[in-house]
Every structure is written in structure tokens, then in C-alpha cells.
Chain A
Amino acid sequence: MKRKLLSTLVCAAMVSSMLVGCGSKPTEAPAADTPVAEASATEEAAPAADAAATETATEDAATPAADGELIKVGIINNDPNESGYRTANDKDMKDTFTEENGYEASFAYSLKNDEQITAAQKFIQDGVDYLLLSAADTAGWDSVLQDAADAGTRVILFDRTIDADESLYEASIVSDMDKEGQTAVEWLKSQNLDEYNIIHIQGVMGSAAQKGRSGALTDAGFNIVTQQTAEWNAEKAQQIVQSVIDAGTPFNVIYAENDDMAKGAVAALDKANISHGVGKDVIVMGFDCNKWALKELLAQNWNYDGQCNPFQASYIDSIIQDLQAGKTLDEKVVVMDEKGFDATTITQEDVDTYGIGE
């Protein structure tokens, strides 16, 4: 019996360590490695790029598209079911790389690096012109990208960077998590509150999004009432805020590093009848710009949401057009701008344009 018990516990320990192990992957994704585009830039760039594309197509006879030849792109992405962010990202890709826009696109999805590498090899063999890659893991890509270079396939990274020599890819479109945090903190400073007592709810510790979004706030020197990781989990966020409320510690800002956790925090506030939103007792800040979160902003229940831009397709499109036109790129790493929405200025249009998911 004792032995059985012991082995059970060992199992439990193993399983729980596995929990920790797997936990980071799916959770990180929804909020984190998501390039948040500068909203305004995307907005303008997208139509502009489209226009450019059509222009080149019609005017510049040198592009393959103009010859009626489609540009072959192989797109390797993470599983769109992974998160709302990824779903939006995939949809954006599919909407952009269409035959009407002069592309013949193939897609491969996997959350596993080795499967992605296999897919990449297949695309290279199929002779795609461009390989668009959102890598599951940063390591292990050198040799396959070398194959691509040898085969004349050009590589563009989006959303995630990899540990490989820069010469192996044409461009990398990423977002700047630090800047996301800075934008949010700048906004918070601009509120000119008498005092700042902040509940800081963090994502999974060590993830890119957590580091970027926490960094700016920690450096800003506000009074932080409590700083806890809820690991992107709404329930945990609710418990953390509940605990602060139960303790009776005063606070007036909730800085949650994603929308889910902000939602959890708000649930705790509602329970204790603490008002929140524009002109209320507590300022609520979230990240990722889920559509439901932006609606909360629109209803003035929340105050701020930092954008997490999944719409990289237009960037990629314009880069491809530039490359096709024989232009050289100014910079390899293209950082998408990211926007922060303020509840007082957000419009229904913003919600429809930038909201992720339904």
C-alpha cells in the first residue's frame, strides 16, 4: 500500500511538472509572441500595399504577376486553433495571399518544430518562391534555411524570430513587446492620477510578452500594491484581486498583461462592488485587443487595451512586392507598430477593425 502510495505521488509529481511544462506553450501564445502592429501604420500600410501591388501588377511588366504568373508562397504557421490571436493571424494570411492578389499560397500548420521543418523542406522541393515562416521554436532552422537559399527560395519570418544567421532570411516582421508596455505605461502616466496604487497581474513568467509588458511598469516607479503572476489565467487573476480586496488594501489601477486576466480581475471587482472603468474608482488595463475586450472599452467598463496586432500579411505583401521589383529592403527586422486604445476615444469602427475573434 505504501509503495503504491509512493508511486502515485511520484506520478503526481511528474504529471504536475508536465503541467508546468506544457502550461507555458499554449498560454504564452495567445497573449505573448504576438507582434502588435502599430494600428495606424497597419491601417495605412495595408491599403497602400494593396494599391502598390495592383499598380505594379498592371504597370510594371517585369513582375511575374503581371505575366499572369502567380507568386508561389509556402506559409508555415502555428495551429490556428492555438488562440484567438492565431486564428486572426491565419485568416489575415489567407485573405491576403489570394489568387486575385497574385499569389499561389500553400499552408502548413503545426505547433511542433520538427513538423514545421518537414513542411518547409517540402515547400522548398515544391519550388515555392517565398517561404513565410512563423516558427514554433527558435532553434534548429539553420540547415533547412540553407537548403532554401540553395534552392533560391526566399524566406520571410513573421511573428516570431529564430536563432539563425540573418543572411538566411530576407526579413523578419515582429512586434516589440517592450514598446507595448511603454505605450501602456505612457498612457497610464498621462492619466495624471493623484496617486497610483497598482495591482499588477503578470503573464507566465519569462515569456516575451510578460517581460516586455512588465518591464515598462516596473521601471515607471509607481506604487505597486501587489505583483503576481496569474499565468494568463482569468481564474487566478480573479483570486489575486480577490485577495487584495479581502485584505482591504486600497488600489486604483489594475494592470493585467492580457485581456483574460483583466476580465478575471473585473469579476472580482464586480463581486465587491468596486466600480471600474472611465471616471470610476479603478482603472482597468488589458492587452491583446480581443474584440470582446474592446467592447468593454467601448462600454467604458475598462479603460485601456494594448493592441496585439496579428495582421502581418500586408507587411509581408509589400516586402514581397519590393523584392519582386528588385528593390533592396532598408531593414531586415520590421517592427510592427502597436497601438493602445483608450476607452474615451475608441470607436465601433476600431472594435470591428482591430478586434480579434468574435
Chain B
Amino acid sequence: MQTKKSNYTSISEMLGKLVKQQIFIPVAALLLLAIFNLIADPGFYKISYGVNSAGSPVLSGYLMTILDYGSELAILAVGMTLVTASSGGQDISVGAAIAIAGSVMLKFICGMNTPVIIAFLAACVVSMFFGAFNGVLVAHFKIQPMVATLILYTAGRSIAAWINNNELPIVSDPKFAYLGGFIPGIPIPTPFFIAAAVVIISLLVLRFTNLGLYTQAVGINESSSRLNGLNPAFIKFITFVILGLCVAVVGLIKVSRLSTINYSVIAKDIEMDAILAVALGGNALGGGKFNLAASIIGAYVIQFLTTTLYKFNVQSDALPAYKAVVVIFLVVISAPVVRDYISSIGKKISHKEVA
């Protein structure tokens, strides 16, 4: 009896601990979706091996699609998480900024015939500049992030069109397509490797600098952070610049996928998915503590959801409605009131069982 009781308590304790873990939310959501698909159609998990039209080996299937498109989101989620943590707000201009980054790349590659790397670096500089623009508005002029980034959100796509005189140059080099597709001989989509690189770099940055501590401190208590020698404005600013860098990387993938972009629709609504990834990762949208890994899993969960919905032939213009349902659910379950309630119920149940 004694052992049984301790078993119960330890299980309920473990469950309680698990539920309290931030990473629990995205992982639970992932499992939920995975199980749903397994029941609905196990064929969802089929991965086939073949060759693409360029003759290189590829793995394909829904999971690969998720890995492929989720990677873009994962990269954005990294930057968005930092911005959210430090400023307590979100950047809604990433879609438009991706259009700008893409346009800059096209201008350099097609207009000036520079190598891809130069074009990419140029796009990085421009994206970081626009990130800095947002950052100054938020950090220095203390404008609410969503309002501040509304400016670029509105103007960004026109700027992107202007950069290339509204022309849509096409990159003819087939090698360029590797970045958004497959590198010959490697059957896993390249964006996944790019995302992995971004994630590793950001984890290293978090490990070897104080970026994480500083952004969280500023997000939690700006006044106190200042009295501990931090410069809250600069830290907010820098997170927006980092997001700008992430935007440039996603722009690279986007341009590579089709060898060109359409300024008015490229990466449309991607900001919403990126913000959703952060929220799904259990990070408070009001800023403060963050968990990067949870955001990244959140990003893949979003793509999992999108792909699942496509599979079931849900009209693509109805997707936002489904995502909205997810948002509502998430917000409700992540509210402290509800969480406490759930854990108290869990305790009651285990107590009853013991009795």
C-alpha cells in the first residue's frame, strides 16, 4: 500500500511537473496532431525515395514537406522569440521584410550578376537595416511593437517592388535552386539544414553570450534591468536586428524555391505563423522568459497543422480560421488560472485513487 501510494504521488508529481514544463505545450500539440493523422490515415507517414527532375535523390512525403516548409518558420521563430521576449510585442512586418530581402537578392543576382553569396549578404544588410528601423521605433520612440512594425508591414511590399522596378527577374542558375530544394546527392530538403544551422548558431550565441539573460531581464522588468546596468533600449533594438537577419535567411530560401518571387504575395501571412509558433512554444507573448527550443518545435507544429489541413483538402483561404481555433485553445490552456485548475484536478484524481 505504501509503495503504491508513493507510486501514485510520484506519477502525479511527474505529470504535474511535465505539465508545468514549457516545452510540454508544443510537444503535446505535436503528439495530438501525429496521433490524429495516424488514425485518420497512416499513409500520412509514408516516405518514399525517388529522384527529382534534376536527377538527384530525394525523400518525399508529408513528413518531408513539413520538414521543408516548417524550417522557414523555425528560422523566423528564432528571431520572433527574441523580439517577443525583449519587447513584449511582435513584429508583424516579417512577411513584407522577406519580400524586400528577396527583391534585394534578385536585384543583385539578376541585375548586377553578383554571386549568390554577395547577394545574400546584401540582403542581410538591408534586412538588418529594416529590422533596425523597427527596433528604433520600438526601443527609442517606445511605440508598441505591433504598431511600429505596421509601418513596414504596409510599405514593405511596395519597397520590394520598387527595388526591382516592379519587374520579376528570374534566377537562371539551376544551382541556386538547391537552397530551397535539394542538394544533389542529399535526399533531405536543404531548408532543413539551413534551419538547423540557424538553430545551432543561435543556441551557441545563447550559450556564449548573455543575450538570453539580458533579453529576458529586459522583458520581465525593464526598470530593474536598467538599474543593473543594462541598456533596455539597445537590447530591444538588437533583437529586432537579429530578427532582420533571420528574415534575410528565409528570404533566401523563398527566392530559391521558385527562382523568383512575387512581391505582393510572397511570404504572405507568414508573420502570423511565426507569432503563432512563439505562442505555441508556450512563450508569453507579453515578453519575459522564453524557450527557444519550444518555439522551434512550435514552428514545425504549425507546419504540421497546415500540411494536415491541406491533406484533408481544407480550402486554403479557410486555414487562418483553423489556426485561430488553435490560438484560442492555446491561450486558454496557457492561462495560469486554467493551468492551476488542471493541476489541481490532476492532484484530486490521484488522491482519490489512493483513497
Chain A residues with Cβ below 8 Å from B62 are: 243, 246-247
Chain A residues with Cβ below 8 Å from B268 are: 19, 23, 231, 233, 235
Chain B residues with Cβ below 8 Å from A242 are: 65, 310
The stretch that binds B, out of A10-18, A120-128, A138-146, is: A10-18
Let me know if A327 is at the binding interface, CB within 8 A. Answer: no
Contact A275 B286 (CB under 8 A): no
Q: How far is the CA of A242 from the CA of B65 in the complex (A)?
A: 8
Query: B residues 202-217 with Cβ under 8 Å of A?
Result: none
Contact B286 A273 (CB under 8 A): no
Report which of B146, B313, B335 forms a contact with A15, defined as CB distance below 8 A.
B146
Q: Are A234 and B258 also in contact (CB < 8 A) when A4-B88, A19-B269, A81-B161 are?
A: yes
Query: A residues 244-282 with Cβ under 8 Å of B?
Result: 245-248, 260, 263-264, 267, 269-275
Chain A residues with Cβ below 8 Å from B50 are: 272-273
Let me know if A230 is at the binding interface, CB within 8 A. Answer: yes
Q: How far is the CA of A346 from the CA of B65 in the complex (A)?
A: 35
Chain A residues with Cβ below 8 Å from B315 are: 228-229
Q: How far is the CA of A232 from the CA of B90 in the complex (A)?
A: 27
Contact B167 A1 (CB under 8 A): no
Contact A8 B324 (CB under 8 A): no
Query: B residues 236-262 with Cβ under 8 Å of A?
Result: 254, 257-258, 260-262
- Please count how many residues in chain A sit with their CB below 8 Å of the partner chain's CB atoms: 60
Q: Nearest Cβ in chain A — how far from B339, in angstroms? A: 12
Contact A8 B286 (CB under 8 A): yes
Let me know if B43 is at the binding interface, CB within 8 A. Answer: yes
Q: Are A235 and B266 also in contact (CB < 8 A) when A12-B275, A80-B166, A84-B168 are?
A: yes
- Please count how many residues in chain B sit with their CB below 8 Å of the partner chain's CB atoms: 63
Contact B157 A12 (CB under 8 A): no
Q: How far is the CA of A270 from the CA of B54 in the complex (A)?
A: 8
Q: Nearest Cβ in chain A — how far from B183, in angstroms? A: 13
Name the residue on A nearest B64 (C-beta). A246
Let me know if A222 is at the binding interface, CB within 8 A. Answer: no
Q: Nearest Cβ in chain A — how far from B174, in angstroms? A: 10
Q: Are A246 and B254 also in contact (CB < 8 A) when A16-B269, A19-B269, A228-B313 are?
A: no
Q: Nearest Cβ in chain A — how far from B290, in angstroms? A: 14
Binding site for A on B (CB under 8 A): 43, 46, 50-54, 58, 60-62, 65, 69, 88-90, 92, 146, 150, 153, 157-158, 161-162, 166-170, 181-182, 254, 257-258, 260-262, 264-269, 272, 275, 284-287, 306-307, 310-311, 313, 315-317, 320, 324, 327, 331, 335-336
Q: A1-B284, A9-B331, A243-B310 are in contact. List 14 more A-B contacts (CB 8 A).
A: A2-B336, A5-B284, A12-B90, A20-B320, A26-B264, A27-B264, A228-B310, A228-B316, A234-B262, A235-B267, A248-B46, A269-B53, A271-B53, A274-B53
24 A-B pairs within 8 Å (CB atoms) are namely A4-B287, A8-B89, A9-B285, A12-B327, A15-B272, A26-B264, A82-B166, A228-B316, A233-B266, A234-B261, A239-B69, A239-B307, A246-B61, A247-B62, A260-B262, A263-B258, A269-B53, A271-B60, A272-B52, A272-B58, A273-B50, A273-B52, A275-B53, A292-B168
